[in-house]
Chain A
Amino acid sequence: MRLTDEEKAMLAGGQGPVRQWAIRHQVAVGEFFDAPDLVPVGQAHIMADTESLGEAGVAWLEGLACSPEKERRVAIPTITDPRGLDFASYKRLRQTDAMADIEARAIRAFEALGVLMTNTCINYQTIMPPVRGEHLAMGDTGVVIYSNSVMGARSNFEGGPSALAAGLTGRTPRYGYHLDQHRAGTMLFEVAHRPTDFADWGALGGIVGRVANSYWQVPVVTGLADRPPNSDELKHFGAALASFGSVALFHMPGLTPEAPALSDAFAGRAAPAAVPIGKADFDAFYRGYAATGDKVDVVVFAAPQLSLIEMAEVADLIAGRRVHEATSLVVATSPEIKFAADRMGLTARIEDAGGIVAAGVCFYQSYAREMAEANGWQRLLTNSAKLVNILAGYGYKPTLASMARCIDSAVAGKVL
């Protein structure tokens, strides 16, 4: 890799061992992906919940945090993805004091590094939205796909150590979606059935993702330009597409910034034959998770965290009703949105009906397996296609339904 004089000095340890670790890591990753050099990035976003960090990861971070302040502080705005636990609600979710202790240790270490604890996977809606052409080092696959596709920014999936390395050096290896050559469409999907709610948008992401099924595929999706989807709809679509297909970039001709027309989406090359997607594909997708009539143990709205608009929708649907005594309702949002929801009375309406509003977490990153065991949860109902994809591996039986049907089911105590 070509390195600047400053980068060579960093690699030689001239800015201390923390930044030396960071750039060494970046050179190893860059060489694996044949990156020609490092590219300056505007923000880094670290996925580092304690469930995935484990004792080993937290102890490693604490080691960095002991370095002299000048050597350990991040060089660019560096923010965090949802955490493993919300101190205000963890007891109600039957998470343990041991989980809270390790969480507090991780937070202290990150703060010592100068990381801003935003604890959110909707930072593109709430913190500092990426702009077109901006190079970034984003963790969380949903953040990356939204930043790349909807905003036209440039990021790979950056795992926690790599995003932290980018924060420390202000750079990331230039490979994958930082390069024009990887951003052209590789597959075409023609959608003939208009999604009507967030679960549908997530289902569409899941359907496309199952076909694409590779980090290096760039799906181009047509048939939706007559009425542009809003940010929350694209959030659910992208999060599911990234989860089911490991996809980091899509184009919607006429909607997303790098594809004013179909030909732009394929960088001037001929479009491949289209994969048609119709109502039958949506029906089959839902059928794969169907459980009508089953007792529902927990209803979850999360993954991604809810926007203020989604919080208001949940509050409107549940207000004046009561969650069934054998069912739990969990709503996860970002700390910023939680403050707004508190101020506007949305949190109170949800919690008065028996729900739990958790901030700075996103359910699946929060010891989901342990929560299932502690609460006796198995059948889970959600409007997040991403969540149904993830949680089967955590011992849940997940079912996908619209927000309205999820709430009706939470009140009835069974899947309607």
Chain B
Amino acid sequence: MPIALKCHKGLGPAVTGTALVADDNFSTRYDLDRIEGTFSRPAHKLYGQSYLDKVLVLVTAKGGVASAWMLHEMVARGMAPKAILFDRANTILAQGAAFAQLTMVDRFEAGSPTTLIRTGDEVAIDPASGLVTILNRDA
């Protein structure tokens, strides 16, 4: 039986992908090399790693009002993560996901997704019903 995680109703389409998890935050302007598709801020726990087509699982979003446009631009170039899961989103990333039609959910009932989900997990996200399923592990 795959592990089902309830969360708040989210944004964007239902998707499935491989998780990249860190106990850290997220800003498209401060943290990313958007041309290469990698985390570029040396202090970030995912420094040097590619986020392309990954389901990013992070604590919260930081700073950077620009992130809203940047998500749209990243999606348009096909250089975006597949989805972003937060413990709690901030306003900018939620607005950006709504604008870019990028999948985003947050506020998980069982606690922080950064401890519930592991890097490499296959996860299915259904924003409309507020449900994330870990497909490769049993409850």
Interface residues of A (CB under 8 A from B): 25, 28-29, 31-33, 47-49, 51-57, 60, 81, 139-141, 156-162, 175-176, 213-216, 242-246, 364-365, 389-390, 392-395
Known contacts A157-B90, A157-B92: A53-B65 contact under CB 8 Å: no
Residues of B within 8 A of A141 (CB): 63-65
**Residues of B close to A242: CB separation below 8 A:** 63
Known interface pairs A28-B98, A159-B91, A393-B40; 9 further A-B residue pairs with C-beta atoms within 8 A, sorted by A's residue number:
A48-B69, A52-B66, A53-B73, A54-B77, A55-B73, A56-B76, A161-B95, A213-B62, A389-B63
**Contact in complex: B60, A32 (CB < 8 Å):** no
- CB atoms of A213 and B30 under 8 A apart: no
Which chain B residue lies CB-closest to A21? B99
Query: Cβ of B68 < 8 Å from any Cβ of A?
Result: yes
Complex: A176 Cα to B77 Cα, angstroms: 32
Can you spell out 22 A-B residue pairs with CB atoms less than 8 angstroms apart?
A28-B11, A52-B66, A52-B73, A54-B70, A54-B72, A54-B73, A57-B69, A60-B72, A141-B63, A141-B65, A159-B91, A159-B92, A159-B96, A161-B72, A162-B99, A176-B91, A214-B90, A215-B60, A243-B63, A389-B30, A390-B30, A395-B40
Cα distance, A332 to B90, chains bound together (Å): 29
| Bound-state Cα–Cα, A48 to B98, Å | 17
Instruction: Specify which chain B residues have a CB less than 8 angstroms from the CB of A47 in the assembled complex.
Output: 65-66, 69
A32-B66 contact in complex given A53-B73, A393-B32, C-beta closer than 8 Å: no
Interface size range of chain B in the complex: 35 or more
CB distance from B40 to the nearest CB of A (A): 5
Residues of B participating in the A interface, judged by any CB pair closer than 8 Å:
8-11, 25, 29-32, 40-43, 60-70, 72-73, 75-77, 88-92, 94-96, 98-99
Q: Which listed residue, A60, A159, A214, touches B65 by the CB 8 Å rule?
A: A159
Q: Are A160 and B40 in contact (CB under 8 A)?
A: no
Task: Give the distance in Å from the alpha carbon of A364 to the alpha carbon of B64 in the complex.
Answer: 11
Q: How far is the CB of A267 from chain B (nearest CB, A)?
A: 21
Contact among A31, A52, A244 with B69 in the assembled complex (CB-CB below 8 Å): A52
